[in-house]
Amino acid sequence: MNRDLTAFGAFARGYEKVCRAILLVFVINVAIVAHTLLGVVVAGFFPSIAAGFATYRSWLLDSDREWGVKQTWMCFHRVWKQELISANQMGWALAAGWALIGYSMFLVLSNDMGPLGYASSGLLLLAVVILSLFSLMVWAVRANFAETNRWAAHVAMVMIIARPACSLLLIAVAILAVLATFTWPGILAAFGLSLPIGLTQACVYVAARLPGMSRQTTTASQQAQPAALSTRGVDQQAHPAATSPERRGK
């Protein structure tokens, strides 16, 4: 009897954690949409992406991860306000890179260049993979360190090369996320960009071994980081850049 009660209690706790995680993903998706509109889209979208990454980071590093709607929203909103300038600088730079690749692909596909066209297509495919990994990794790095955008970009490129397991995991998760979205379109409506952001942070947490954000990080090293170990007082702890957001932007 006691054994059955223990098993039921473990199942109930596990079920509650799953439900709370689903709620977190949904709330962050709503926050991304709301804050994107709050920033009139062009000024609100990229800060929303940065806030999503930072919120997931804080949640992953929390000891209990029993977050409610209010706690999640407060963490997201405060980071969003701090990222209005810096995240837009990073985001629009990434957008320019994607626009350049898109235009290059258009030129290659719309012109018959023979063998040169095949070689160019291969190089562009490689560029798409690298830029995709970079676009995911750089936001995760920014959420973990209160440094400049240039520094975050450099570290992100190093991480892509130095952590091949994390890069492969990100590629696999991205493919699965795309397949799941096409198979069950309701996922996009319910969770939007929040789901890939959360999956990216989970991959980085498990495989990237970033200082201050790692499953293997010791308690002592976590205490040495003044970042978001808990967002119950989501002020400067909600985001590591909260102490000096003005340092970013270069």
Instruction: Give the count of domains, the chain.
Output: 1
Quote the domain boundaries for residue 28: 2-245
The residue assigned the tokens 């980081």 is: 225
pLDDT band at 58 (very low <50, low <70, confident <90, very high): very high
In a domain, residue 35? The reply is yes
pLDDT band at 2 (very low <50, low <70, confident <90, very high): low
pLDDT at 85: 95
Which pairs with CB-CB distance under 8 Å and at least 24 residues apart come from 155-162? 159/208, 159/210, 160/130, 160/133, 160/134
Percent of the chain with pLDDT over 90: 59
- CA dist list (Å): 4 to 7, 11, 17, 18, 132: 5, 10, 20, 21, 47
In a domain, residue 98? The reply is yes
Give the mean model confidence (pLDDT) for residues 226-246.
40
| Residue 50 reports pLDDT greater than 70 | yes
In a domain, residue 52? The reply is yes
pLDDT in tens, 115-174: 887 888 899 999 999 999 999 999 999 999 999 999 999 999 999 999 999 999 999 998
75/86 Cα distance (integer angstroms): 18
What residues contact 137, with CB distance under 8 A and at least 6 apart? 156, 159, 160, 170, 200, 204, 208
Comparing 185 with 60, which gets the higher pLDDT?
60
Q: Which burial class, exposed, middle or buried, applies to 52 when counting CB atoms under 10 A from its CB (0-12, 13-18, 19+)?
A: buried
